[in-house]
Structure 1
Amino acid sequence: MIDMVIAEDQAMLRDSLAYAIGTQDDMRVVAAIADAADALSAVEKHHANLALLDVCTENDSSGIVAAAAIKEAHPDVRVVIMTGMPEITFVEQARAAGVDSFIYKNVGTAELIAVIRSTMEGYSTFPRPPNQTRFPAPRRSRKRKSTSFAWCARRKRARKSRRSYTCPKAP
């Protein structure tokens, strides 16, 4: 059983996360708090084995600072950091704090649940830096421009010349 502490300052999101996670057979939310500064005491009080922490919480508390404290006191407790702000420094700071996984809030519930489960199994999930791609960029071909591109170009020229232009009918 995954016993989890959630630290999220937005009440509606905190309640939604607790509900969605609570519907899983292998997960239980033992505490849902607004301030990450209280995360370590909540982990200890409820014997949680995973903490899901927002980067920025109530009272200007940092989930990353809380994660470092949790990992120092209880290295066996898994920590997942979440944020809605795509700051690349947050990922680096989370790694330095010993966080097990990092996820953005724009993912769906199924992906969040999958990250939580894989983190408990010992896997780490971190976003790829924006300048690092899995595959090289495709080469540009010298083929003729597509009809949709040509249509867009005609429309743009028409707007510039202020002539009336009628969109072509779909085939």
Structure 2
Amino acid sequence: MIRVLLAEDMHMIRAALTALLRLEADLDVVAEVTRGDEIVPAALRVRPDVAIVDIDLPVLDGITAAAQLREVLPDCRILVLTAMGQPGQVRRALSVGIEAFLVKDAPGERLADAIRRTAAGLRVLDAELVASAMERGESPLTSREATVLRETAGGATAEEIAARLHLSVGTVRNYLTGAITKTGARNKIDAIRIAEDAGWL
């Protein structure tokens, strides 16, 4: 029996995935969580063989949570689910050693098969997603530029970001300008869109 932890914040999707997986005789959903920060505590409690993790989780994103899970439970295999296969997210997932990456619109039998293959120690990666990630390349943004752009995307003003990061307003604006230039954007809104589409934020 393969013990599965499911991390998905959308209630209907989580219920549907759980029902689907429970139809499989060799799969047992032993825990369900709705937030990224709940993954490690739940995994330590139930010791799953495979954790299915949605990328877009509240509080802590799925890839960061998966990296933390890898640290505390290295024997637990990780399968990341996403609605969109953004190249930057795929690269990030691969960089933290995630074994499997699957888009949510894959057929149900493909998910069950991916869980079995992941549990067996195999990598399950969509070839087109990986090729796209390799073509897109690494994020051109520095850590600070990405942070400032992420804060801006959340609605923070330059003054608020400066206060949070202990920087001058001018420095924050310089980081924003750098992010706009490096993404080839027309303005900060365009830079946010480009960076989010690429999975760089």
TM-score range, shorter chain: 0.7 to 0.9
Matches of 2:93 and 2:133, distance apart in 1: 19
Aligned residue type for 2:78: V
CA contact (8 A) 1:51 1:78 kept: yes
Matches of 1:131 and 1:87, distance apart in 2: 8
CA contact (8 A) 1:100 1:125 kept: yes
Q: CA deviation at 1:130?
A: 3.3
Aligned position for 1:114: 113
Q: CA deviation at 1:32?
A: 1.1
Aligned position for 1:66: 65
Q: CA deviation at 1:106?
A: 1.0
Tell me whether 1:27 sits opposite 2:27 in the alignment.
yes
Aligned position for 1:13: 13
Matches of 1:35 and 1:130, distance apart in 2: 28
More helix by share: 2
Aligned position for 2:44: 44
Q: CA deviation at 1:131?
A: 8.4
Matches of 1:112 and 1:23, distance apart in 2: 12
Matches of 1:35 and 1:108, distance apart in 2: 24
CA contact (8 A) 2:90 2:133 kept: no
Task: Give me the TM-score of the superposition, normalised by structure 2.
Answer: 0.62
Aligned residue type for 2:19: Y
Aligned position for 2:4: 4
Structure number with bigger Rg: 1
Percent identity over the alignment is 27
CA-based RMSD: 1.4
CA contact (8 A) 1:52 1:82 kept: yes
- Write the deviation string for residues 16-61 of structure 1: whole angstroms up to 9, x where unpaired: 01111111111111111110211111111112111000001123x2
Helix, strand or coil at the partner of 1:130 = helix
Q: CA deviation at 1:127?
A: 2.1
Aligned position for 1:96: 95
Helix, strand or coil at the partner of 1:85 = coil
Q: CA deviation at 1:121?
A: 1.0
Helix, strand or coil at the partner of 1:76 = coil
CA contact (8 A) 2:87 2:133 kept: no
Helix, strand or coil at the partner of 1:12 = helix
Q: Structure 1 residue runs of 4+, over 6 Å off? A: none
- Consecutive unaligned residues of structure 2, counting only runs of 5 or more, are 135-201
- Consecutive unaligned residues of structure 1, counting only runs of 5 or more, are 133-171
CA contact (8 A) 1:21 1:27 kept: yes
Matches of 1:98 and 1:26, distance apart in 2: 25
Helix, strand or coil at the partner of 2:63 = helix
Matches of 1:131 and 1:96, distance apart in 2: 12
Q: CA deviation at 1:75?
A: 1.0
CA contact (8 A) 2:7 2:52 kept: yes
Aligned residue type for 2:42: A
Tell me whether 1:127 sits opposite 2:126 in the alignment.
yes
CA contact (8 A) 1:79 1:100 kept: yes
- Write the deviation string for residues 135-170 of structure 1: whole angstroms up to 9, x where unpaired: xxxxxxxxxxxxxxxxxxxxxxxxxxxxxxxxxxxx
Task: Give me the TM-score of the superposition, normalised by structure 1.
Answer: 0.73
